[in-house]
Structure 1
Amino acid sequence: MVQKSVQWFMIVLGAFIYSLGLNGFLVANHLAEGGFVGVSLLLLYKLHIQVGVSFFILNIPLLIVAWRLFGHEFVLKTAVGVIGVSVFTEATRHLQVPTHDPLLAALYAGVITGIGLGLIFRTGGTTGGSDIIARILRHYRGLGMGKTLFAIDFIVILLVMVIIGKEVAMYSLVALFVSSRVIDFVIEGASSGRAVMIVSDKHEEIAAEIHKQLDRGTTLLQARGGYTGTARQVIYCVVSREEVMRVQRIISEVDPTAFVTVNPVHEVLGEGFTYDGEPSSVARRRRKLFS
């Protein structure tokens, strides 16, 4: 029950923060957005229809369709996000921070709206609009959600370029990009890291140096060369983003000819990252992430 209450609170808080970024920097500096919010901003600039009103009306038919297709839990969380954004956008529309530098406005808008959306997405909620359309098209046509969302944003930004101007469209793209990066950071949190795989004849020496210098564990995987058929040992190690350069330096010193791949890891649980010595804390962390 407490966990559910926290989820609803996070959606409402995220909607409030998002609305601050929307009104405070996008509307105040005549910038735009992607998706349905971008359409609502165009209606505001050209027809003087308030963003909260048009955004809510545009989402009503989509929420009805989503209720029939995806069930009540998804729609309830989405409805709370939509209503929250609509209400808070109206409540904060006078809290604007005009600036003479549109790039600075785009950066501020991207950070603040990204934090708000990140909090909403982290709980499994959405702000409706493009997300519902993407889910519907995936349901009926099998289209990937990422491609659909990108296409919708692209169309809206193209409309912004035609209706308002190229400069506004470009600054709006900057805000969108910054917002997407901040959303990733909020969702992934500080527990994201990098997975390093190392193929080397000197795997024991490299692993020993990683243990010694970074105090990180490693795993030795049995592998076989696809071309030569030679048995090899592959080192697998997960480190923080800040430690990647130190691992690369160790490899360079021990075996400059080693084959190395580095991949992003969006969640890292366990000793060295989230484990604090109490088994119950790990369980709480897992419940928090996957509930």
Structure 2
Amino acid sequence: MKTSRLINQLKTVIPIIIGTAIYAFGLLYFIIPNQLMEGGVTGITVLLNYAFNISPSLSTLIINIPLFLIGLKILGGRQSIYTGIGIGSLTLFLWLLEELIEHGWIIPFQTEHDYILASLYAGVTLGAGLGIVFRFGGTTGGSDIIARIFNRKFGYSMGQVILALDIIILGLSLLFIPLEKILYTLVAVFIASKVIDFIQEGAYAAKAFTIISDKAPEMADRITVELERGVTLIPVIGVYSKQAKHMIYCVVSRQEIRRLSEIAKSVDPRAFIIINDVSDVHGEGFKEE
């Protein structure tokens, strides 16, 4: 029992550690060498590096420790444990990469002209790192803790708080880096947000069909036979007609969308069909845990 619980915890902790390693790499390999920026509290560490040459690992630790303690007292719970793991591993990997760069074992990507390339790669690496951390319930501290506190205490949404912090930090960065670099930073932030969503929502996308028809049982049989997909029949009553019908619910891959639509229309041309995006699917015929 204890062994199984430990394995499950490791399945969560290890990806968080890997995610912080990727994030730290993106920060020191792409962002700082090209004088780009980052939002949130990480942006403060980058500003401190530009203004006073303070190492990101040191400033990350100093800023996040009081935030973590406040968050632990106010928020509590399991989330704080994973946040602590995220902060600790991020600090460790930042320090390790700083040492490797200082000794010349890693040469950061630095450009004087092609900043769009640096922005794209920065966005991909930062987004991949954060996406993995978020997907497994962790955070890298900083803005996430502040946002959760403001949400809990004052009712502000986490998105509003994080956006306000990003605007303030990016505004302050104009004192140290040119506007051009801020604009390139926005490219990196946009790419990172898309990568985070991609990782959190799942790499496998599918479509969910909701079909209301007088011939739903016949339609369900054909879908089961011809597409070999599971189908759920749900009894429903039309409010206007007061007639009892069946509603079909079925999830298919992207490649099967056209075929399912053809089957539905061939059985009942008047069928009412709703198609929704499904970002992540687990189970028989799709991803298995």
Q: The TM-score by the shorter chain falls in which range?
A: 0.7 to 0.9
Shift in Å, 1:19: 0.9
Aligned position for 2:273? 260
Aligned position for 2:114? 101
**Greater Cα radius of gyration, structure 1 or 2:** 2
Give per-residue Cα distances to partners, 1:75-99, cap 9 Å, x unaligned.
3321221122223223224241124
Aligned position for 1:34? 39
Q: Is the 8 A contact 1:118 1:186 kept in 2?
A: yes
Q: Which moved more, 1:137-146 or 1:154-163?
A: 154-163
Q: Which moved more, 1:217-226 or 1:59-68?
A: 217-226
Shift in Å, 1:102: 2.1
Give me the CA root mean square deviation: 2.9
Q: Which moved more, 1:241-250 or 1:11-20?
A: 241-250
Q: 1:169 to 1:230 in 2, by over 3 A?
A: farther
Aligned position for 1:281? none
Q: Is the 8 A contact 2:217 2:233 kept in 1?
A: no
Q: Aligned residues, how many?
A: 276
Aligned position for 1:45? 50
The reply on whether 1:236 has 2:249 as its aligned counterpart is yes
Q: Is the 8 A contact 1:158 1:169 kept in 2?
A: no
In 2, Cα distance between equivalents of 1:22 and 1:245 = 43
Q: Is the 8 A contact 1:34 1:157 kept in 2?
A: yes
Q: Which amino acid aligns with 1:56?
A: L
Give per-residue Cα distances to partners, 1:186-238, cap 9 Å, x unaligned.
33434553322123455456545533443212222222334444444322111
In 2, Cα distance between equivalents of 1:24 and 1:220 = 53
Q: 1:73 to 1:239 in 2, by over 3 A?
A: same
Q: 1:174 to 1:248 in 2, by over 3 A?
A: farther
Aligned position for 2:146? 133
Shift in Å, 1:245: 4.7
Q: Which amino acid aligns with 1:97?
A: F
Q: Is the 8 A contact 1:39 1:156 kept in 2?
A: yes
In 2, Cα distance between equivalents of 1:251 and 1:132 = 49
Q: Which moved more, 1:80-89 or 1:238-247?
A: 238-247
Q: Is the 8 A contact 1:157 1:173 kept in 2?
A: no
In 2, Cα distance between equivalents of 1:161 and 1:130 = 20
Runs of 5+ consecutive residues of structure 2 not aligned to the other structure: 1-5
The reply on whether 1:92 has 2:105 as its aligned counterpart is no
In 2, Cα distance between equivalents of 1:176 and 1:113 = 9
Q: 1:67 to 1:274 in 2, by over 3 A?
A: same
Shift in Å, 1:133: 0.9
Aligned position for 1:224? 237
In 1, Cα distance between equivalents of 2:271 and 2:176 = 54
In 2, Cα distance between equivalents of 1:209 and 1:203 = 10
In 1, Cα distance between equivalents of 2:258 and 2:14 = 39
Aligned position for 1:167? 180
Runs of 5+ consecutive residues of structure 1 not aligned to the other structure: 276-284, 286-291
Q: Which amino acid aligns with 1:214?
A: L
